Amino acid sequence: GFLITSMWGGSPRRQPQQKRAAGASASSDLGFGPGEADAKPFDLAELAFPVSLGDPVEQVVAELHGPASLGRVGAQEGAAEAGFSEDAAGRARPAASGGRSGAGHSSSLFRGERVLSKRMRRAAAMTGAAGLLAVAGVAGTAAAADEVRFSTQDMVIPPGTNPRLAPRLESGTADGRIVIALSTKLLTGPAGDGAGVPTGFTVDRLHCTEAPGVTAVYLCGNGGLFPQVTAPLNAPNLTTVHWGFAYVPRGGSLATGIEAARTAGARPADGTHGTGKVVVKTAAHAALNTVGYELPDLSPGRTIHHRLRIHSNDAGRLRLGFRSAEGQESGPVAIGGPANFTTSPGLSCRMDHNDVDKSLLGTFVWCDAQAGDHTIDYDVTAHADLRARKVDVWTAYGIYDWGGLAYDVTRTGTFATLGPAVRPRHFLLARNSSGILFRYFGTGVATAPFGSRTETGKGWQGYTAITALSPLKNDPVYRDVKPSAVTRGRGDTVARDASGTLWYYDRQFVSDQFNYPFGPRVRVGTGWNVYDRIDGAGDIGQDGYVDLLARDKAGVLWLYQGTGRLVDGNRFTTRVRIGAG
Per residue in 386-400, pLDDT tens?
999 999 999 999 999
Q: Is 174 found in the same domain as 271?
A: yes
Contact 449, 428 (CB under 8 A): no
Q: Is 155 found in the same domain as 251?
A: yes
Determine, yes or no, domain membership for 483.
yes
Contact 502, 570 (CB under 8 A): no
Terminal-to-terminal C-alpha distance of the chain = 48
Q: Is 124 found in the same domain as 224?
A: yes
Provide the β-strand partners of residue 246. 179, 273
How many separate domains does the chain show? 3
Coil, strand or helix at 573: coil
Q: Is 85 found in the same domain as 174?
A: yes
Q: Is 202 found in the same domain as 77?
A: yes
Number of helical (H) and strand (E) elements in the chain, helices listed first: 9, 35
Q: What is the pLDDT of residue 513?
A: 59
Determine, yes or no, domain membership for 154.
yes
State how beta strands 531-538 and 522-525 pair.
unpaired
Which alpha helices (DSSP H) does 186-329 contain, by range?
254-262, 283-286
Contact 532, 497 (CB under 8 A): no
- Residue 226 CA to residue 164 CA, distance in Å, equals 6
Determine, yes or no, domain membership for 15.
no
- Whole domain around residue 218: which residue ranges? 41-280
Q: Is 550 found in the same domain as 454?
A: yes
Strands (E), 137-272: 149-153, 155-157, 168-171, 177-183, 202-204, 209-210, 217-220, 228-230, 240-248
Determine, yes or no, domain membership for 117.
yes
Q: Is 212 found in the same domain as 306?
A: no
Residue at a domain's end among 237, 256, 280:
280
Amino acid at 480: D
State how beta strands 273-280 and 155-157 pair.
parallel
Q: Is 550 found in the same domain as 408?
A: no
Checking 98-103 for CB contacts under 8 A at 24+ apart, the result is 98/209, 98/212, 98/219, 99/208, 99/209, 99/210, 99/219, 100/207, 100/209, 100/222, 100/224, 101/209, 101/222
Contact 293, 320 (CB under 8 A): no
Task: Report, as ranges of residue numbers, the positions in the chain whose pLDDT lies below 70.
Answer: 1-145, 222-223, 355-358, 511-515
Q: Is 218 found in the same domain as 91?
A: yes
Q: What is the pLDDT of residue 342?
A: 97
Q: Is 237 found in the same domain as 374?
A: no
Share of the chain above pLDDT 70, in %: 73
